[in-house]
Amino acid sequence: MIPLLTLLALGAAPPLTPISPRLITMSVDSKVSFPATQLTATVQVVGKDKDVAGARKSADEKLRKLVEALRVAGLEARRLQAFDNGVTPDSRGSEVIGQLATRSVLVSLADLTQADAVFTAANRAGAVVSGPVTFAADTTSFEAKARLEAATIARARASAMVEALGGKLGLPRTVSDHLNGSHVTTTRYLQPSADGSVTTNASSVELTVVVHLTVQFDIRDE
């Protein structure tokens, strides 16, 4: 038979509570910049005439000359796509004085050293840039580099802080990241000179990826 005092002592024992892990959380941003390798832009020509048929004929002729000029400048056929943007009235106040037919060419470049020649040809063929010029690149390897740099920085900072406080950094418990990439859109690269030539500076355009990394590390004893 168990003595009464023993029973009372057992009944009074507080419940065991789990010991919370000792953690340190680090948040790090890592930014990697790299050159753009791709460019897309839309250039347009407009045909004018008194009637729809005449406007369409004028636009088609201008489009033909534009495409030929782009091909002569070195743009491959697969790098351009033509569109018929339709016909709109040419108005002066409330009076319709004619018709406007618009044709567009979507230009894509994988060699940015061609940019000056291509946009010069388009400008001299009477085309204008419609909308922004967009620069891009394959970011896969640069995203990986940014993640690796962020992880290295996070561990180094956490280790230095923990060791300064008399502990040792353990293994990561949780890891999360958020990626921000950039695609530059701009029109400032297309400034024609008096002779119709265009200087784009496209080869100097840089893009960036930024990785925001958050890591929780365990803290262990020496």
Provide the pLDDT for residue 222: 67
Alpha carbons within 13 A on the beta-carbon side of 118: 30
Alpha carbons within 13 A on the beta-carbon side of 193: 7
Prediction pTM value: 0.77
- Structural domains in the chain? 20-36+138-222 (3.30.110.170), 38-136 (3.30.70.2970)
Residues in the chain: 222
Q: How confident is the model at residue 180 (pLDDT cuts 50, 70, 90)?
A: confident
Largest Cα–Cα distance in the chain?
A: 116
Q: How confident is the model at residue 201 (pLDDT cuts 50, 70, 90)?
A: confident
pLDDT tens digit sequence for 12-71: 566 665 666 899 999 999 999 999 999 999 999 999 999 999 999 999 999 999 999 999
**pLDDT > 90 fraction of the chain, expressed in percent and rounded:** 71
pLDDT at 92 over 90: no
Q: What is the mean pLDDT of the chain?
A: 89
